[in-house]
Structure 1
Amino acid sequence: MTTSQHSNSQTSKNQIRMGVWGTTGAGKTTYLMRLFHALANSDSWDVAVDDKTKTFITMHSEKMSKGYFPEPTRVRGKELDIYSYRLTYKGAGSRTKILFEFIDAPGEFYEEIGNAKGKVAETNQQSKDIVDYLLSCHGIIFLLDPTRENEDGKTYEVLLQDVFMEMQKRQAELNPDKEDKLEQYVAFAVTKADLKKIWEKGMNSFGLVKELLNINLSLGWFENYVWLDQNQLRLVRGNYPSAGKNHRCQFFSISAIGVYKDEHGNWESPISDTNESDGGILEQTDNPQANTTSVFGGIPNYHPARTKTEYRFRHDVRLVQFGVIEPLEWLIDGILTHPPSL
């Protein structure tokens, strides 16, 4: 994170709005909760919340502290609330302040993007649908679930195409003189990579996106919708190159819950699943980040309509998260350096 390059006078008023896109069961609420805890435990960040966000965190924290995952998101009113984390970056003598705004929307709202389900409550008493909200975001984190099956609905290729085409159409309606490429910075994050079948792939994150999600897409496909420099996708000494004016897309792998070491020193997934034998026991290593893809993820796919099993994770062991903050930091850095024209 190079936020220290931004002057305090500039960054004291930074308000960054983020979208977190994901299908049902992708782990959006889990990610947002674990992101809060990762930021709170970070040496680089301080985080504070308002009353509404405090209620959101408290509601889910009690259940997660006992090893249960959040319930699938439901809309409790006519509109979706906007939550916020007030972030202060503490690195290199800087006290950069950022207001990170987000919504927690049900996955089906994103799966049927053309129907424009859901309204988002804005402070100006107006409301937006999901697509307009995404267009108002400076950055979007796309959480991609590798355990999602095609029979669960549309393929990821179709889902991503739907949302990008609809956003392009509306962006052109708002400003016909703009480039067709979207202004937003985007981070594609493969979740649940602590599952054994994902860990053993040992490939970079874009490779995971292509193979595990069955997306028959080239990088050229992504370039059609977002600003992407293919030369900037490679890890350099374990780090991703910075985002910039002509490069606003990156691929990550994340572990929302984390992994732990057993008594033999092996890294294991803490997830309990009586219906799946695809465990997530990882090969022994002194450092799980030795696999430079940081391929760890979140939870097994949760289908409440198909099974009575309630997935749980161990909370009596020290869990090590991976890649939770990195997508956010990468997005923030690019947004502060070259703000998108919204």
Structure 2
Amino acid sequence: MDTAETTSPGTPAVTSQQIEAASSWVEPLRAEIARVLVGQNQLVDRMLIALLTNGHVLLEGVPGLAKTLTVRTLAACLHGRFQRIQFTPDLLPADVVGTMIYNPREGNFSPRLGPIFANLVLADEINRAPAKVQSALLEAMQERQVTIGETTYTLPNPFMVMATQNPIDQEGTYTLPEAQLDRFLLKVKVDYPTPEEEREVLERMATSKPKLDVEPVMQITQIASSRALVNGIHLDDKVKDYIVSIIQATRHPERIAPHLKNLIRCGASPRGTINLALAAKANAFLQSRDYVIPYDVKSLAPDILRHRILLSYEAEAEGVTTEDIVEQLLDKVEVP
């Protein structure tokens, strides 16, 4: 099998030995996070996938599921800087990206950088803030830079935003437009812990001073070198065709499942195709493999597609969810 023909153009192929050596930090990182966090293994892996692909994550889950603790713990393990921004209706763009402050002693303006200048940023309840604030954050996510006054400032590298939404309480919220949702690499649903996990949470956290300290297990600069290897992971032509078939199925479901035709108003964009391939490569890296298998694609497809498929009014009336649609499409699309 010729890996040079199936990696990204201009990206050298990698060997299994390179991937095994470069991914040696993954298991120690998972173990260190597990010292504080109970369960949520999938959430941790999805955050690592976003870091390895230079992407961002949108989380949907009720309050109290350790979303903030997860990001804070990951940042501490990476020796990176963490910032949490609580989005509220009175928040201004300057509260996120920064602004110019007048210095009366010197008679000039100086920049004050906002909390977005961090490696990991938690945008808590992003749909609580008005459209201007959402746009300011999402522009920074896309451009990786912020302009304050006449000066442009580059954001730290790596830089990842994890935004949260409460799926229950929608009063006084500003729904993210589909075009902005599409900028998130993944939309992950955070569920309640199992009874066993919740008992463990009780044992660890039912105290006025729970142990939340972790040790840095890697330098955050290692993420950049790992990204370079992720780009060179082998993606077979058959797997590429499988990815394209899944995305095409969201746009033309009648070709494989006629009953879904009236349930989908709009399918995934080409950004979904690109992100599914990138995420599959990153997942292979986390498993210390130098090649992508169909399972990488299939397991990540729900998180890649759930915010990129628009349901019709008929689907909403029938109580059909995007998860139902994706599951049926994945069952119908032939796996190589």
Q: Same fold (TM over 0.5)?
A: no
Considering fraction of residues, name the structure with more strand. Answer: 1
TM score, norm. by length of structure 2? 0.31
Tell me: higher relative CO, structure 1 or 2? Use CA pairs within 8 A at least 6 residues apart.
2
TM score, norm. by length of structure 1? 0.30
Q: Which has the larger radius of gyration?
A: 2
